[in-house]
Structure 1
Amino acid sequence: MEHIVIIGNGISGVTLARHIRKLSDKKITIVSAETDYFFSRTALMYVYMGHMKFEHTQPYENWFWQKNHIDLKKGYVENIETSTKRLHFSSGELLAYDKLVIATGSKPNKFGWPGQDLDGVMGMYHKQDLENLEKHAPNKAVCKRAVIVGGGLIGIELAEMLNSRSIPVTFLVRESSFWNGVLPKGESAMINRHIKNHHIDLRLSTNLKEIVSDENGKVKSVIIEETGEEIPCNVVGLTAGVSPNIDFIKDSNIETGRGVKVNRYLETNIPDVYAIGDCAEQHEAIGNRRPIEAVWYTGRMMGETLAQTICGNRIPYNPGHWFNSAKFMDIEYQTYGWVFGSKGRPDYEEHFHWKHEDDTKCITVAYHKTTNEFLGINTFGIRMRHETFDRWLNEKRDVHYVIEHLPEANFDPEFYLRFENDILKAFSQKLQTTYNEQ
């Protein structure tokens, strides 16, 4: 019986295992050094915030794996011997495979800061990080202040978590405005204000110089690069992006760049070895997408796609139109299609931006300035229907059609009963202004 070994029990590896089992009776083993069972990584923050217990983050009961004949092995793979198709574990054990899938996800970036490995420094990516946070920041009596380094989505999640326990937070963001590499100017500015409104000490255009230790090897403070200011703190959250977790592959003959190099079929340069999820790097990016996508839903889609290939129906990975969702404190964010931020915005891309007076709701619609073709939309504080925008992008609708039919995409008709006319009016004014300028 063919043996499929999957290294990593995140969303991509587990989705792959489930779909292989639906399609075949192949022997499946999932290897993980992190936890015994799969859990939802995106739900970790809600455990700390008291909304759920850790066991609630596990979508499947513990008996699910045995019932479905999916073997689970806890252990750390030190290297892969592709010539003999064997895995070498740090324990000295060996495991043979027929087909191997690398689904080891991401690890937090560390940029060689002095003190980055001190007690009290952590990311917010793994269950161990959650345990560390409970240990070092159970409340504001133990943790007088936390400093977060890096202004991405995980940084804002960690800020919200600490804020929920009334722990003071200083947030160091090297960019001049929060997430402005991704968000257009108006949205980024709104999020800056929203973070500050939650009494978080947001420091823009600010870099970490070093993390200072006390006499016991624990975090005592951080030093700011630009000013030399010392900020006393007990916890430092490193959330300055992620990198593929592939150190153990470097000595193998599997081709790597930043991640494990794969083609459109998620195959590596070695026969019977594949890579999916955050650790996979496309040789050539798909459309406007990045070669590495550390996104939950793309990991799931890669798992579904590769299951077909492994079970004899070889099909390419085709993720379709870009979309993503997140939360900025209590503002929900969704994006469909392409809306470029201040960096890398193409010359042809025009934006229509509307913001509600309460400063917690806005939309930005991107369209082609010559053809008026709808290119994408960002929404904040408003829930939209994925399938509606997906259809409009497929149909290459023009921006006028999209603005006039926005109610069809909305989950919350109350919002549009109140603000639909405002959005239409603002869009008409923008078009009139543009026309007059020409």
Structure 2
Amino acid sequence: MENIVIIGNGVSGVTAARHIRKNSNKRIIIISAETDHFFSRTALMYVYMGHMKFEHIKPYEDWFWEKNKIELLRGYVSKVDHEKKELQIEDARILKYDKLILATGSKPNKFGWSGQDLHGVQGLYSKQDLDLLEINAPNKEVCKRAVIVGGGLIGIELAEMLRSRDIPVTFLVREKNFWDGVLPDGDSKMLNEHILDHHIDLHLETNLNEILADESGRVKAVITDKDETIECQLVGLTPGVSPNVSFLNDSGIELGRGIKVNRFLETNIKDIYAIGDCAEQQEPIGNRRPIEAVWYTGRMMGETVAQTICGNRTEYKPGHWFNSAKFLDIEYQTYGWVFSTNGRKEYEEHFHWRHSTEKICLTISFQKETKKFLGLNTFGIRLRHEILDKWLNEGRDVMHVIKYLKDANFDPEFYLDYENEIAAKFNLEFGTDIKPEKKNWKRIFAIG
């Protein structure tokens, strides 16, 4: 029986295992050093906030694995020997494989700050980080102030978690606006306001210089590049993540920042594949980055590699870019390509609408000359993925999107809608006369 070994029990590795099992009788072993069972990493915050218990964020019951003949092994892989097709686990045990899937995920970035290894300094990525946070910041008596370094998704999640326990938070963001390396100015400026509205002390264009220790070796303060000293009992380092691949340095597997793969998620070594956060495309796919540390792309890679493992060699084709997140209580969705203000392409034009009183906004990207619809960001408005995907596939123009935006609205029936306001602002800016409509899809499908 063919032996399939998967290193990593995140969404990509577990998805691969599930789909291999659906399509074959192969032996499947998942190795993880983090936890015994797969859990939803994006839900860690809700455990700390008291909305869930840890067992609630495990998508599958503990009996699922044995029932589906997926073997789980807790351990750290220290070496891959591709010539012998062997894995060395924690410098002792040897495990043979026929095919190997590397799904080792990411690790938090550290940039050599003085004091970054003190007690009370941590990231928020793993189950171990969650457990450590309960020690470092159980309440506002133990942690009178926290400083978070890095203005990305993990940083805002950590800020929300700490504020849920009334712990004061100072947020150091090196950019001019929050997440403005990703978002256009209109979107990121609204998030600046929203962060401040939630009583988070936001310091823009500010970098960490040094972390200071008290006499017991715990963090007591940070010093910024503006010579400001901020007393704190917790420093959350959240300046992004990097592929977790250092154990492969002498393996013969080609590495860049991550594990180099072709379009079939194959490495340079026969029978070894890489998926998820640790995989780096040899050539980027369209506008996508070579490494995509995103939940839904990890899932798609897992499904794709399973097909190849089971004899149906399949190219990874992720389709149109999509992502979603939550910034405190604002839901965010992005479809297609809406580049940041600084990263905007020469051919790209943006239309931005923002509600006059609520923290709700929308940015549409389109080609200047042809008016072709390129992408859309929404904050506080839910849209239907299948409709946006359809418009992108059909190459619709921005006027069509504005006219039929109601078709994409996914908000419940009694929520307010904003399509008329959006169209009015678009008409004013671009000299059009678009009147929003909603197609009678039932009638269209009945005729078809």
TM-score tier after normalising by the smaller chain length: over 0.9
Structure 2, gaps ≥5 residues long:
433-448
Does 2:345 match 1:346? Answer: yes
Query: In the alignment, which residue of structure 2 is the partner of 1:76?
Result: 76
Conserved 8 A contact 1:9-1:38: yes
Query: In the alignment, which residue of structure 2 is the partner of 1:99?
Result: 99
Does 2:372 match 1:366? Answer: no
- Number of residue pairs the alignment of both structures matches: 432
Structure 2 residue identity aligned to 1:272? D
Label 1:413 to 1:6 Cα distance change in 2 as closer, same or farther (>3 A).
closer
Query: In the alignment, which residue of structure 2 is the partner of 1:59?
Result: 59
How far off its partner does 1:166 sit? 0.5
Structure 2 residue identity aligned to 1:327? K
Does 2:121 match 1:136? Answer: no
Does 2:116 match 1:150? Answer: no
Equivalent positions of 1:182-193 (< 5 A) are 182-193=182-193
Does 2:179 match 1:179? Answer: yes
| CA distances 1:223-243 after superposition (whole Å, capped 9, x unpaired) | 112x22111111111110100
Conserved 8 A contact 2:78-2:91: no
Query: In the alignment, which residue of structure 2 is the partner of 1:332?
Result: 331
How far off its partner does 1:413 sit? 5.9
Q: What is the distance in 1 between the residues matched to 2:291 and 2:411?
A: 34
Label 1:260 to 1:400 Cα distance change in 2 as closer, same or farther (>3 A).
same
How far off its partner does 1:415 sit? 7.8
Does 2:162 match 1:162? Answer: yes
Conserved 8 A contact 1:30-1:71: yes
Q: What is the distance in 1 between the residues matched to 2:198 and 2:232?
A: 19
Does 2:281 match 1:267? Answer: no
| CA distances 1:27-50 after superposition (whole Å, capped 9, x unpaired) | 000000000000000000000111
Secondary structure at 1:288 match in 2: coil
Secondary structure at 1:425 match in 2: helix
Secondary structure at 1:179 match in 2: coil
Conserved 8 A contact 1:407-1:413: no
Query: In the alignment, which residue of structure 1 is the partner of 2:442?
Result: none
Q: What is the distance in 1 between the residues matched to 2:345 and 2:102?
A: 35
Secondary structure at 2:263 match in 1: coil
Query: In the alignment, which residue of structure 1 is the partner of 2:296?
Result: 297
Does 2:248 match 1:246? Answer: no
How far off its partner does 1:248 sit? 0.3
How far off its partner does 1:282 sit? 0.2
| CA distances 1:180-238 after superposition (whole Å, capped 9, x unpaired) | 0110011110000100111101000000001111122211111112x221111111111
Q: What is the distance in 2 between the residues matched to 1:370 and 1:432?
A: 15
Instruction: Identify which range, 90-99 or 140-149, moves more after superposition.
Output: 90-99
Secondary structure at 2:180 match in 1: coil
TM-score (norm: length of structure 1): 0.97
How far off its partner does 1:416 sit? 7.8
How far off its partner does 1:414 sit? 5.5
Conserved 8 A contact 2:156-2:327: yes
Once the two structures are aligned, what percentage of the paired residues are identical? 69
Query: In the alignment, which residue of structure 2 is the partner of 1:436?
Result: none
Computed over aligned residues only, the root mean square deviation of the Cα atoms, in angstroms, reads: 1.1
Structure 1, gaps ≥5 residues long:
434-438
How far off its partner does 1:432 sit? 2.1
Query: In the alignment, which residue of structure 2 is the partner of 1:208?
Result: 208
Q: What is the distance in 2 between the residues matched to 1:267 and 1:415?
A: 49
Structure 2 residue identity aligned to 1:274? Y
